[in-house]
Amino acid sequence: MGAETQGRILNTIFFGGGTPSLMDPDTVAQVIDAARRLWRTSNDLEITLEANPGSVEAGRFAAFRDGGVNRISMGIQALNDTDLKRLGRIHTVNEACAAFDVARDLFANVSFDLIYARQDQTLADWKQELKQALSMAVDHISLYQLTVEDGTAFGDRHALGKLRGLPDEDLSADMYQLTQEVCGESGMHRYEVSNHARPGAESRHNLIYWRYGDYLGIGPGAHGRLSLGRTRMATESWKSPAKWIGKVDHGSGERLRQAITKPEQADEYLMMALRITDGLDVDRYTALAGRPLNTETRKSLVDLGMIGDTGSKIIVLKQGLMVLNAITKELLAS
């Protein structure tokens, strides 16, 4: 991949998936050094490492910083020990807060995740927890609604009737609206459906995904999107670490490299762009799709107060965010 992308500027590196904070800090430093040798880098290269908030890993944060990491994203998930256990997390709230304090002292940009709409959670519970989270001098916060999907551990538990007390759709909607209000009052603006940040602290790496830019997926199970000439490729690495390493030793860890058609690119771009406050560039979509979006569909969604449409830009409005999937499907179908 390095040979194919010579001359390009590297803007971000993201160590994510699994538990990258369990990596030896020297390994992280070596990966960063290798990337710097392969590509020219931007002056403000963002290097993020996802971390579990256990106290043992927190003690390694200084070594990660010294190795080049300048942003930490912590999977805290809940500020309630009972719910942490329900979510299958092995850390406690005290350990999470202690790890956050260490990260806050060492890094200029610290983010963490929380999950809401949990079992037996009330609107008042979530408001209190969210305010506590925002009081922790966090720069960026990702707030995800708990969803139950088939084929997951939560899906299996739900099917067996062991996942009781989940909020209904109305309460979940109220929690989302409350999230926007509380974050807005705290100066943490929403720039993506589930992501809020102080000005300048947005995840530049994730914005590359949402703006449908190029990214290299390196490592077991990693996916990427890479433009080579006039062709945009979807890449996928082998999932098994052992197999991936074996393939890398013979030249490449890729399992799949497949061209994405222009209409497929248009669909992917639309699904990503509607998630962010930047919105969808209509001309870019039309150029990819080879056709414009249906005018009547756009007007109908405007009349319903779901989207803002300037002619050149489409942005999902506050009311539309509640039914984003439905809006996306309607525009794709048009």
Q: Is the pLDDT of residue 154 over 60?
A: no
Both 241 and 279 in one domain: the answer is no
Q: What pLDDT, on the 0 to 100 scale, is given for residue 4? A: 86
Q: How far is the C-alpha of 317 from the C-alpha of 238, rounded, in Å?
A: 39
pLDDT digit string, tens, across residues 185-235: 999 999 999 999 999 999 999 999 999 999 999 999 999 999 999 999 999
Least confident of 30-39, 50-59, 63-72, 238-247: 50-59
Same domain, 160 and 232: no
State how many domains the chain has.
3
Domain of 68?
Answer: 9-201
pLDDT at site 180: 95
Residue 326 has pLDDT above 60, yes or no: yes
Q: Are residues 99 and 173 in the same domain?
A: yes
> pTM for the whole thing?
0.92
Say whether both 16 and 145 belong to one domain. yes
Whether residue 281 sits in one domain with residue 190: no
Cβ atoms within 10 Å of 171's Cβ, excluding its own: 15
CA dihedral 316, 317, 322, 324 (to 10 degrees): -10
- Average pLDDT (89-116) is 93
pLDDT at position 153, please?
Answer: 58
Question: Are both 182 and 256 inside the same structural domain?
Answer: no
pLDDT, one tens digit per residue, over 195-209 is: 999 999 999 999 999
- Looking at residue 52, its pLDDT comes to 87
In a domain, 103, yes or no: yes
Cα–Cα distance, 9 to 197 (Å, whole number): 25
207 lies in a domain?
Answer: no
